[in-house]
Amino acid sequence: MLISAAFALLVGLLLRLAFFHFFPQPDGDVIVYSNLATNLLRHGQLALTDATGHPQPSLIRLPGYPLFLALCFRLFGVGNALAVAIVQSLLDSITCLLLADLARLLTRELALRRGLRRTGWGAALLALWIAELCPFTAIYVSAMLTEGPTLFCIALACWAALRFQLRPTWPLALLFAAAVTWAALLRPDGALLAVALAPALFSSVARRQISFRKLLRMSLVCVTLALLPFTVWTVRNWRLFHVFQPLAPRYASDPGESEDLGFEHWMGTWTLDFVNTVEVYWQVPDGVVFPSAIPARAWSTEADHQRILALFADYNRSGYHTSPAFNAQLEQMARANLRAYPWRTALEVPVLRVFDMWLRPRVENLPIDLDWWVYAHHHDETVFSACYAGVNLLLLLLGFAGLAMRPRLGAWMLLYMILRSLLLATVQGPEARYTLECLPMLIVTASVWLSTRSWQRPRLGA
Protein backbone atom coordinates (compact mmCIF):
# COMPACT_ATOMS: atom_id res chain seq x y z
CA MET A 1 0.00 0.00 0.00
CA LEU A 2 2.84 2.41 0.80
CA ILE A 3 4.43 1.73 -2.59
CA SER A 4 1.13 2.41 -4.34
CA ALA A 5 0.67 5.63 -2.36
CA ALA A 6 4.18 6.82 -3.17
CA PHE A 7 3.64 6.00 -6.84
CA ALA A 8 0.36 7.95 -6.81
CA LEU A 9 2.14 11.00 -5.38
CA LEU A 10 4.85 10.77 -8.04
CA VAL A 11 2.37 10.35 -10.89
CA GLY A 12 0.33 13.29 -9.59
CA LEU A 13 3.40 15.52 -9.43
CA LEU A 14 4.40 14.58 -12.98
CA LEU A 15 0.86 15.20 -14.23
CA ARG A 16 0.82 18.71 -12.79
CA LEU A 17 4.23 19.54 -14.23
CA ALA A 18 3.13 18.15 -17.60
CA PHE A 19 0.12 20.47 -17.55
CA PHE A 20 2.45 23.37 -16.72
CA HIS A 21 4.77 22.50 -19.62
CA PHE A 22 2.25 21.70 -22.35
CA PHE A 23 -0.62 24.03 -21.38
CA PRO A 24 0.88 27.17 -19.80
CA GLN A 25 -1.50 29.89 -18.63
CA PRO A 26 0.28 33.24 -18.89
CA ASP A 27 -2.76 35.51 -19.27
CA GLY A 28 -5.61 37.01 -17.26
CA ASP A 29 -5.40 36.72 -13.50
CA VAL A 30 -1.90 35.24 -13.75
CA ILE A 31 -0.56 38.61 -14.92
CA VAL A 32 -2.46 40.47 -12.21
CA TYR A 33 -1.24 38.26 -9.37
CA SER A 34 2.34 38.25 -10.66
CA ASN A 35 2.32 42.03 -10.88
CA LEU A 36 0.92 42.41 -7.36
CA ALA A 37 3.50 40.00 -5.93
CA THR A 38 6.37 41.66 -7.77
CA ASN A 39 5.47 45.13 -6.49
CA LEU A 40 4.94 43.71 -3.02
CA LEU A 41 8.45 42.29 -3.08
CA ARG A 42 10.19 45.27 -4.71
CA HIS A 43 8.23 48.20 -3.30
CA GLY A 44 6.66 46.77 -0.15
CA GLN A 45 3.10 47.52 -1.25
CA LEU A 46 0.24 45.68 -2.86
CA ALA A 47 0.17 47.61 -6.11
CA LEU A 48 -0.31 47.32 -9.86
CA THR A 49 2.12 48.88 -12.31
CA ASP A 50 0.48 51.67 -14.31
CA ALA A 51 1.11 52.73 -17.91
CA THR A 52 4.06 54.88 -16.83
CA GLY A 53 5.76 51.98 -15.06
CA HIS A 54 5.02 53.21 -11.54
CA PRO A 55 3.29 51.05 -8.89
CA GLN A 56 -0.17 52.23 -7.86
CA PRO A 57 -1.74 50.78 -4.68
CA SER A 58 -4.67 48.48 -5.40
CA LEU A 59 -7.37 46.59 -3.54
CA ILE A 60 -8.86 44.57 -6.40
CA ARG A 61 -7.34 41.37 -5.00
CA LEU A 62 -7.01 40.15 -1.42
CA PRO A 63 -3.43 39.85 -0.11
CA GLY A 64 -3.39 36.09 0.56
CA TYR A 65 -2.15 34.89 -2.82
CA PRO A 66 0.13 37.86 -3.64
CA LEU A 67 1.92 37.24 -0.31
CA PHE A 68 2.28 33.55 -1.18
CA LEU A 69 3.68 34.42 -4.62
CA ALA A 70 5.99 37.07 -3.17
CA LEU A 71 7.47 34.43 -0.86
CA CYS A 72 8.03 32.09 -3.82
CA PHE A 73 9.59 34.92 -5.83
CA ARG A 74 11.84 35.82 -2.91
CA LEU A 75 13.11 32.25 -2.63
CA PHE A 76 13.31 31.26 -6.30
CA GLY A 77 13.42 34.48 -8.31
CA VAL A 78 10.86 37.04 -9.44
CA GLY A 79 8.50 35.65 -12.08
CA ASN A 80 9.72 32.07 -11.71
CA ALA A 81 6.49 30.34 -12.73
CA LEU A 82 8.08 26.87 -12.74
CA ALA A 83 9.10 27.22 -9.09
CA VAL A 84 5.56 28.31 -8.21
CA ALA A 85 4.14 25.31 -10.09
CA ILE A 86 6.45 22.94 -8.20
CA VAL A 87 5.66 24.51 -4.81
CA GLN A 88 1.91 24.39 -5.48
CA SER A 89 2.17 20.81 -6.75
CA LEU A 90 3.95 19.76 -3.58
CA LEU A 91 1.32 21.59 -1.55
CA ASP A 92 -1.33 19.74 -3.53
CA SER A 93 0.34 16.45 -2.59
CA ILE A 94 -0.45 17.33 1.02
CA THR A 95 -3.99 18.19 -0.10
CA CYS A 96 -4.38 14.72 -1.60
CA LEU A 97 -3.02 13.05 1.53
CA LEU A 98 -5.49 14.99 3.68
CA LEU A 99 -8.35 13.88 1.42
CA ALA A 100 -7.12 10.30 1.66
CA ASP A 101 -7.16 10.42 5.46
CA LEU A 102 -10.63 11.97 5.38
CA ALA A 103 -11.88 9.08 3.24
CA ARG A 104 -10.26 6.60 5.64
CA LEU A 105 -11.88 8.11 8.73
CA LEU A 106 -15.33 8.41 7.15
CA THR A 107 -15.24 4.85 5.80
CA ARG A 108 -14.14 3.41 9.11
CA GLU A 109 -16.98 5.13 10.92
CA LEU A 110 -19.56 3.95 8.39
CA ALA A 111 -18.26 0.42 8.90
CA LEU A 112 -18.67 0.73 12.65
CA ARG A 113 -22.29 1.82 12.16
CA ARG A 114 -22.93 -1.43 10.29
CA GLY A 115 -21.15 -3.57 12.83
CA LEU A 116 -18.20 -4.21 10.53
CA ARG A 117 -14.50 -3.99 11.17
CA ARG A 118 -12.85 -2.00 8.42
CA THR A 119 -9.73 0.15 8.63
CA GLY A 120 -10.64 2.37 5.71
CA TRP A 121 -7.19 2.19 4.14
CA GLY A 122 -8.68 0.98 0.87
CA ALA A 123 -10.80 4.11 0.66
CA ALA A 124 -7.76 6.21 1.53
CA LEU A 125 -5.71 4.76 -1.31
CA LEU A 126 -8.61 5.14 -3.71
CA ALA A 127 -9.11 8.79 -2.72
CA LEU A 128 -5.39 9.46 -3.11
CA TRP A 129 -5.33 8.08 -6.65
CA ILE A 130 -8.49 9.93 -7.71
CA ALA A 131 -7.23 13.20 -6.24
CA GLU A 132 -3.81 12.87 -7.85
CA LEU A 133 -5.17 11.90 -11.27
CA CYS A 134 -8.04 14.42 -11.36
CA PRO A 135 -7.19 16.55 -14.43
CA PHE A 136 -9.69 19.27 -13.53
CA THR A 137 -7.83 20.28 -10.38
CA ALA A 138 -4.34 19.34 -11.59
CA ILE A 139 -4.26 21.87 -14.42
CA TYR A 140 -5.13 24.72 -12.04
CA VAL A 141 -2.65 23.61 -9.40
CA SER A 142 0.12 24.05 -11.97
CA ALA A 143 -0.96 27.61 -12.81
CA MET A 144 -0.16 30.85 -10.97
CA LEU A 145 -3.73 31.09 -9.68
CA THR A 146 -5.49 30.86 -6.32
CA GLU A 147 -7.14 27.50 -6.99
CA GLY A 148 -4.20 25.36 -5.81
CA PRO A 149 -3.82 26.91 -2.33
CA THR A 150 -7.62 27.16 -2.03
CA LEU A 151 -8.00 23.41 -2.56
CA PHE A 152 -5.40 22.89 0.17
CA CYS A 153 -7.34 25.13 2.57
CA ILE A 154 -10.57 23.23 1.86
CA ALA A 155 -8.95 19.86 2.49
CA LEU A 156 -7.25 21.09 5.66
CA ALA A 157 -10.44 22.69 7.00
CA CYS A 158 -12.47 19.52 6.40
CA TRP A 159 -9.76 17.34 7.93
CA ALA A 160 -9.39 19.55 11.01
CA ALA A 161 -13.19 19.78 11.45
CA LEU A 162 -13.59 15.99 11.29
CA ARG A 163 -10.69 15.38 13.64
CA PHE A 164 -12.09 17.99 16.03
CA GLN A 165 -15.45 16.20 16.04
CA LEU A 166 -13.69 12.98 17.00
CA ARG A 167 -11.43 14.57 19.60
CA PRO A 168 -11.72 18.31 20.30
CA THR A 169 -8.32 19.91 21.00
CA TRP A 170 -6.84 23.39 20.81
CA PRO A 171 -4.38 22.54 17.98
CA LEU A 172 -7.21 21.28 15.77
CA ALA A 173 -9.31 24.36 16.47
CA LEU A 174 -6.41 26.64 15.59
CA LEU A 175 -5.64 24.59 12.48
CA PHE A 176 -9.24 24.93 11.33
CA ALA A 177 -9.14 28.68 11.97
CA ALA A 178 -5.91 29.01 9.99
CA ALA A 179 -7.36 27.06 7.05
CA VAL A 180 -10.58 29.07 6.74
CA THR A 181 -8.72 32.35 7.28
CA TRP A 182 -6.25 31.71 4.47
CA ALA A 183 -9.10 30.53 2.24
CA ALA A 184 -10.86 33.87 2.78
CA LEU A 185 -7.61 35.79 2.25
CA LEU A 186 -7.14 34.04 -1.09
CA ARG A 187 -10.61 34.82 -2.45
CA PRO A 188 -13.66 36.54 -0.91
CA ASP A 189 -15.81 33.46 -1.52
CA GLY A 190 -13.40 31.50 0.67
CA ALA A 191 -15.36 32.81 3.65
CA LEU A 192 -18.11 30.33 2.74
CA LEU A 193 -15.86 27.57 4.05
CA ALA A 194 -16.07 28.95 7.58
CA VAL A 195 -19.81 29.59 7.30
CA ALA A 196 -20.50 26.00 6.22
CA LEU A 197 -18.05 24.03 8.37
CA ALA A 198 -17.76 26.02 11.62
CA PRO A 199 -21.16 24.78 12.93
CA ALA A 200 -19.84 21.21 12.60
CA LEU A 201 -17.42 21.88 15.43
CA PHE A 202 -20.29 22.54 17.84
CA SER A 203 -21.62 19.01 17.41
CA SER A 204 -18.90 17.97 19.85
CA VAL A 205 -20.91 19.66 22.60
CA ALA A 206 -23.98 17.59 21.80
CA ARG A 207 -21.92 14.41 22.14
CA ARG A 208 -20.49 15.71 25.43
CA GLN A 209 -16.90 15.48 24.19
CA ILE A 210 -16.24 19.05 25.27
CA SER A 211 -17.98 21.55 27.50
CA PHE A 212 -19.80 24.45 25.93
CA ARG A 213 -17.73 26.89 27.97
CA LYS A 214 -14.43 25.50 26.67
CA LEU A 215 -15.72 25.45 23.11
CA LEU A 216 -16.85 29.05 23.48
CA ARG A 217 -13.35 30.05 24.63
CA MET A 218 -11.85 28.27 21.63
CA SER A 219 -14.30 29.99 19.32
CA LEU A 220 -13.56 33.47 20.66
CA VAL A 221 -9.81 32.97 20.29
CA CYS A 222 -10.13 31.50 16.78
CA VAL A 223 -12.53 34.21 15.59
CA THR A 224 -10.25 36.92 16.97
CA LEU A 225 -7.22 35.46 15.22
CA ALA A 226 -9.19 34.98 12.00
CA LEU A 227 -10.43 38.58 11.96
CA LEU A 228 -7.02 40.10 12.69
CA PRO A 229 -5.63 40.05 9.09
CA PHE A 230 -8.92 41.39 7.72
CA THR A 231 -8.80 44.21 10.27
CA VAL A 232 -5.33 45.14 9.03
CA TRP A 233 -6.55 44.94 5.41
CA THR A 234 -9.60 47.09 6.16
CA VAL A 235 -7.53 49.75 7.94
CA ARG A 236 -5.06 49.79 5.02
CA ASN A 237 -7.85 50.31 2.51
CA TRP A 238 -9.39 53.09 4.58
CA ARG A 239 -6.09 54.92 4.94
CA LEU A 240 -5.16 54.63 1.25
CA PHE A 241 -8.54 54.87 -0.46
CA HIS A 242 -10.94 56.17 2.24
CA VAL A 243 -13.34 53.29 1.62
CA PHE A 244 -14.60 50.54 3.90
CA GLN A 245 -13.49 47.37 2.11
CA PRO A 246 -12.89 44.36 4.39
CA LEU A 247 -12.65 41.93 1.46
CA ALA A 248 -12.24 42.72 -2.25
CA PRO A 249 -14.70 44.67 -4.43
CA ARG A 250 -17.25 42.56 -6.27
CA TYR A 251 -16.36 43.93 -9.69
CA ALA A 252 -12.58 44.05 -9.17
CA SER A 253 -12.21 47.81 -9.56
CA ASP A 254 -10.16 50.25 -7.54
CA PRO A 255 -11.81 53.37 -6.07
CA GLY A 256 -12.32 55.94 -8.80
CA GLU A 257 -12.48 53.37 -11.59
CA SER A 258 -15.73 52.69 -13.41
CA GLU A 259 -17.49 49.52 -12.33
CA ASP A 260 -19.70 49.51 -15.45
CA LEU A 261 -22.71 48.59 -13.32
CA GLY A 262 -25.18 48.95 -16.16
CA PHE A 263 -23.19 46.49 -18.23
CA GLU A 264 -22.85 44.14 -15.25
CA HIS A 265 -26.58 44.20 -14.49
CA TRP A 266 -27.49 43.64 -18.14
CA MET A 267 -25.09 40.68 -18.42
CA GLY A 268 -26.65 39.17 -15.32
CA THR A 269 -30.04 38.97 -17.02
CA TRP A 270 -28.95 36.62 -19.80
CA THR A 271 -25.47 35.04 -19.42
CA LEU A 272 -25.60 31.26 -19.24
CA ASP A 273 -22.25 29.78 -20.15
CA PHE A 274 -18.54 30.25 -20.60
CA VAL A 275 -18.98 31.27 -24.24
CA ASN A 276 -20.84 34.40 -23.11
CA THR A 277 -18.03 35.10 -20.65
CA VAL A 278 -15.28 34.89 -23.26
CA GLU A 279 -17.03 36.56 -26.19
CA VAL A 280 -18.80 39.38 -24.35
CA TYR A 281 -18.09 39.72 -20.62
CA TRP A 282 -14.30 39.64 -20.82
CA GLN A 283 -14.29 41.99 -23.80
CA VAL A 284 -15.69 44.98 -21.88
CA PRO A 285 -13.82 47.17 -21.56
CA ASP A 286 -10.75 47.08 -23.82
CA GLY A 287 -11.91 44.44 -26.32
CA VAL A 288 -14.11 44.13 -29.37
CA VAL A 289 -17.65 42.76 -28.97
CA PHE A 290 -19.11 41.15 -32.08
CA PRO A 291 -22.90 41.60 -32.26
CA SER A 292 -23.27 38.00 -33.45
CA ALA A 293 -21.92 36.84 -30.07
CA ILE A 294 -24.93 38.32 -28.23
CA PRO A 295 -27.87 35.84 -28.15
CA ALA A 296 -31.54 36.78 -28.49
CA ARG A 297 -32.23 36.34 -24.78
CA ALA A 298 -30.13 39.49 -24.17
CA TRP A 299 -33.00 41.75 -25.24
CA SER A 300 -36.75 41.87 -24.69
CA THR A 301 -37.93 43.67 -27.83
CA GLU A 302 -36.71 44.20 -31.37
CA ALA A 303 -36.27 47.88 -30.54
CA ASP A 304 -33.86 46.91 -27.74
CA HIS A 305 -32.09 44.60 -30.16
CA GLN A 306 -31.44 47.49 -32.50
CA ARG A 307 -30.30 49.65 -29.58
CA ILE A 308 -27.81 46.97 -28.53
CA LEU A 309 -26.43 46.69 -32.06
CA ALA A 310 -25.98 50.46 -32.27
CA LEU A 311 -24.55 50.65 -28.75
CA PHE A 312 -21.82 48.09 -29.33
CA ALA A 313 -21.09 49.43 -32.79
CA ASP A 314 -20.33 52.78 -31.13
CA TYR A 315 -18.36 51.00 -28.41
CA ASN A 316 -16.17 49.23 -30.97
CA ARG A 317 -15.61 52.41 -32.98
CA SER A 318 -14.68 54.41 -29.88
CA GLY A 319 -11.70 52.18 -29.13
CA TYR A 320 -13.46 49.83 -26.69
CA HIS A 321 -14.18 52.36 -23.94
CA THR A 322 -17.32 52.50 -21.82
CA SER A 323 -19.12 55.66 -20.72
CA PRO A 324 -21.93 56.70 -18.35
CA ALA A 325 -24.33 56.81 -21.32
CA PHE A 326 -23.26 53.29 -22.35
CA ASN A 327 -24.00 51.94 -18.88
CA ALA A 328 -27.24 53.91 -18.52
CA GLN A 329 -28.70 52.39 -21.67
CA LEU A 330 -27.68 48.86 -20.69
CA GLU A 331 -29.18 49.43 -17.23
CA GLN A 332 -32.48 50.30 -18.91
CA MET A 333 -32.33 47.13 -21.00
CA ALA A 334 -31.56 45.05 -17.92
CA ARG A 335 -34.71 46.38 -16.27
CA ALA A 336 -36.68 45.79 -19.48
CA ASN A 337 -35.54 42.15 -19.53
CA LEU A 338 -36.64 41.70 -15.94
CA ARG A 339 -40.06 43.23 -16.62
CA ALA A 340 -40.65 41.25 -19.81
CA TYR A 341 -39.32 37.91 -18.56
CA PRO A 342 -39.29 38.01 -14.74
CA TRP A 343 -39.12 34.24 -14.16
CA ARG A 344 -36.53 33.65 -16.87
CA THR A 345 -34.34 36.50 -15.67
CA ALA A 346 -34.62 35.92 -11.93
CA LEU A 347 -34.73 32.11 -11.82
CA GLU A 348 -34.21 30.23 -15.08
CA VAL A 349 -31.05 32.02 -16.19
CA PRO A 350 -29.27 31.81 -12.77
CA VAL A 351 -30.17 28.12 -12.38
CA LEU A 352 -28.95 27.22 -15.86
CA ARG A 353 -25.81 29.25 -15.22
CA VAL A 354 -25.02 27.13 -12.17
CA PHE A 355 -25.73 23.89 -14.03
CA ASP A 356 -23.36 25.01 -16.78
CA MET A 357 -20.57 25.60 -14.25
CA TRP A 358 -21.12 22.16 -12.70
CA LEU A 359 -21.54 20.11 -15.88
CA ARG A 360 -19.64 21.87 -18.66
CA PRO A 361 -16.50 20.04 -19.92
CA ARG A 362 -13.59 21.54 -18.00
CA VAL A 363 -11.50 22.18 -21.09
CA GLU A 364 -11.23 25.96 -20.82
CA ASN A 365 -7.45 25.80 -20.31
CA LEU A 366 -6.86 23.38 -23.17
CA PRO A 367 -6.43 24.31 -26.86
CA ILE A 368 -10.06 23.48 -27.66
CA ASP A 369 -12.51 25.77 -29.44
CA LEU A 370 -15.39 27.30 -27.51
CA ASP A 371 -17.86 25.53 -29.81
CA TRP A 372 -16.49 22.13 -28.79
CA TRP A 373 -19.89 20.50 -29.34
CA VAL A 374 -19.91 21.16 -33.12
CA TYR A 375 -18.64 17.79 -34.32
CA ALA A 376 -18.43 18.91 -37.95
CA HIS A 377 -15.86 21.57 -37.05
CA HIS A 378 -13.44 19.41 -35.10
CA HIS A 379 -14.09 15.70 -34.58
CA ASP A 380 -11.31 15.00 -32.08
CA GLU A 381 -11.98 18.02 -29.90
CA THR A 382 -15.68 17.19 -29.69
CA VAL A 383 -14.99 13.59 -28.70
CA PHE A 384 -12.35 14.62 -26.16
CA SER A 385 -14.62 17.26 -24.62
CA ALA A 386 -17.49 14.78 -24.39
CA CYS A 387 -15.20 12.34 -22.58
CA TYR A 388 -14.06 15.10 -20.23
CA ALA A 389 -17.69 15.95 -19.53
CA GLY A 390 -18.40 12.28 -18.89
CA VAL A 391 -15.55 11.95 -16.40
CA ASN A 392 -16.74 15.09 -14.62
CA LEU A 393 -20.32 13.80 -14.48
CA LEU A 394 -19.18 10.41 -13.19
CA LEU A 395 -17.22 12.05 -10.39
CA LEU A 396 -20.24 14.15 -9.43
CA LEU A 397 -22.59 11.14 -9.42
CA LEU A 398 -20.23 9.05 -7.31
CA GLY A 399 -19.60 11.94 -4.94
CA PHE A 400 -23.28 12.62 -4.35
CA ALA A 401 -23.90 8.88 -3.95
CA GLY A 402 -21.34 8.98 -1.16
CA LEU A 403 -23.07 11.96 0.42
CA ALA A 404 -26.34 10.00 0.32
CA MET A 405 -24.74 7.49 2.70
CA ARG A 406 -24.75 10.30 5.28
CA PRO A 407 -21.12 10.12 6.40
CA ARG A 408 -19.98 12.27 9.27
CA LEU A 409 -19.42 15.83 8.07
CA GLY A 410 -21.41 15.03 4.92
CA ALA A 411 -24.26 17.43 5.72
CA TRP A 412 -21.81 20.30 6.22
CA MET A 413 -20.02 19.47 2.97
CA LEU A 414 -23.35 19.55 1.18
CA LEU A 415 -24.17 22.88 2.84
CA TYR A 416 -20.93 24.32 1.47
CA MET A 417 -21.81 23.18 -2.06
CA ILE A 418 -25.30 24.65 -1.80
CA LEU A 419 -24.05 27.99 -0.49
CA ARG A 420 -21.40 28.13 -3.19
CA SER A 421 -23.95 27.32 -5.90
CA LEU A 422 -26.26 30.06 -4.64
CA LEU A 423 -23.38 32.53 -4.79
CA LEU A 424 -22.39 31.39 -8.29
CA ALA A 425 -25.94 31.98 -9.50
CA THR A 426 -25.26 35.71 -9.10
CA VAL A 427 -22.06 35.93 -11.17
CA GLN A 428 -22.19 37.66 -14.54
CA GLY A 429 -19.26 35.78 -16.09
CA PRO A 430 -19.70 32.04 -15.42
CA GLU A 431 -16.64 29.79 -15.51
CA ALA A 432 -16.44 26.06 -14.83
CA ARG A 433 -13.47 26.64 -12.51
CA TYR A 434 -15.76 28.28 -9.95
CA THR A 435 -17.10 24.85 -8.93
CA LEU A 436 -13.64 23.30 -8.57
CA GLU A 437 -13.72 24.05 -4.84
CA CYS A 438 -16.44 21.41 -4.42
CA LEU A 439 -14.40 18.63 -6.02
CA PRO A 440 -12.17 17.79 -2.99
CA MET A 441 -15.26 16.95 -0.93
CA LEU A 442 -16.78 14.93 -3.78
CA ILE A 443 -13.54 13.03 -4.31
CA VAL A 444 -13.67 11.96 -0.67
CA THR A 445 -17.32 10.90 -0.69
CA ALA A 446 -16.92 9.18 -4.08
CA SER A 447 -14.05 7.13 -2.63
CA VAL A 448 -16.15 6.24 0.39
CA TRP A 449 -19.01 5.05 -1.81
CA LEU A 450 -16.76 2.99 -4.08
CA SER A 451 -14.90 1.36 -1.20
CA THR A 452 -18.12 0.32 0.56
CA ARG A 453 -19.57 -1.49 -2.49
CA SER A 454 -17.67 -4.64 -1.53
CA TRP A 455 -19.08 -4.78 1.98
CA GLN A 456 -21.34 -7.66 2.92
CA ARG A 457 -24.28 -7.17 5.21
CA PRO A 458 -23.59 -8.68 8.63
CA ARG A 459 -25.48 -11.89 9.23
CA LEU A 460 -28.25 -11.92 11.81
CA GLY A 461 -26.95 -13.01 15.14
CA ALA A 462 -23.35 -12.51 14.08
| Domain ranges, ordered by start, for the chain | 2-243, 258-340
The pLDDT value given to residue 420: 97
- Residue 333, Cα to own-chain centre: how many angstroms? 31
Lowest mean pLDDT among 2-16, 199-213, 230-244, 261-275: 199-213
Cα–Cα distances (Å) from 452 to 50, 123, 155, 407, 440, in that order, read: 57, 8, 22, 12, 19
Residue pair 56/47 in contact by the 8 Å Cβ criterion: yes
Distance from C-alpha of 244 to C-alpha of 448, rounded to nearest angstrom:
44
What whole-number percentage of the chain has pLDDT above 90? 85
| C-alpha radius of gyration, the chain, whole number | 24
Distance from C-alpha of 415 to C-alpha of 407, rounded to nearest angstrom:
14
| Contacts by 292-296, CB closer than 8 A, 24 or more apart | 295/270
Residue pair 349/270 in contact by the 8 Å Cβ criterion: yes
Lowest mean pLDDT among 21-30, 97-106, 111-120, 331-340: 111-120
Summarised one tens digit per residue, pLDDT across range 181-220 is 999 999 999 999 999 999 998 877 666 778 888 989 999 9
Distance from C-alpha of 61 to C-alpha of 109, rounded to nearest angstrom:
41
- Residue 113, Cα to own-chain centre: how many angstroms? 34
Minimal CA–CA distance to 277: which of 82, 430, 174, 170?
430
Summarised one tens digit per residue, pLDDT across range 251-304 is 989 998 888 999 999 999 999 999 999 999 999 998 999 999 999 999 999 999
The pLDDT value given to residue 30: 95
Q: How large is the average pLDDT for residues 224-252?
A: 95
Distance from C-alpha of 72 to C-alpha of 91, rounded to nearest angstrom:
13
Summarised one tens digit per residue, pLDDT across range 79-96 is 999 999 999 999 999 999
Cα–Cα distances (Å) from 39 to 147, 260, 285, in that order, read: 22, 27, 25
The pLDDT value given to residue 461: 38
Residue 453 pLDDT greater than 90, yes or no = no
Q: How large is the average pLDDT for residues 300-320?
A: 94
Residue pair 59/232 in contact by the 8 Å Cβ criterion: no
What whole-number percentage of the chain has pLDDT above 70? 97
The pLDDT value given to residue 84: 97
Residue pair 131/12 in contact by the 8 Å Cβ criterion: yes
Residue 336 pLDDT greater than 80, yes or no = yes
Q: Dihedral (C-alpha) 290, 296, 297, 301: value to the nearest 10 degrees?
A: 110
Q: What is the DSSP letter of 260?
A: -
CA end-to-end span of the chain: 30
Residue 457 pLDDT greater than 60, yes or no = no
Q: At what angle do helices 121-133 and 2-22 cross, to 10 degrees?
A: 10
Does an H or E element contain 55, and which?
strand 55-57
The pLDDT value given to residue 459: 46
Q: How large is the average pLDDT for residues 141-159?
A: 97
Distance from C-alpha of 336 to C-alpha of 177, rounded to nearest angstrom:
45
Distance from C-alpha of 252 to C-alpha of 239, rounded to nearest angstrom:
19
Residue 397 pLDDT greater than 70, yes or no = yes
Residue 238 pLDDT greater than 80, yes or no = yes
Bond from prior residue into 24 cis (ω within 30 degrees of 0): no
The pLDDT value given to residue 462: 35
Q: Detail the DSSP E strand segments found in 221-295.
A: none
Q: Give me the phi and psi of 459, to 5 degrees please.
A: -70, 150
Residue pair 351/425 in contact by the 8 Å Cβ criterion: yes
The pLDDT value given to residue 205: 66
Residue 114 pLDDT greater than 80, yes or no = yes
Q: What are the residues facing 56 on neighbouring strands?
A: 48
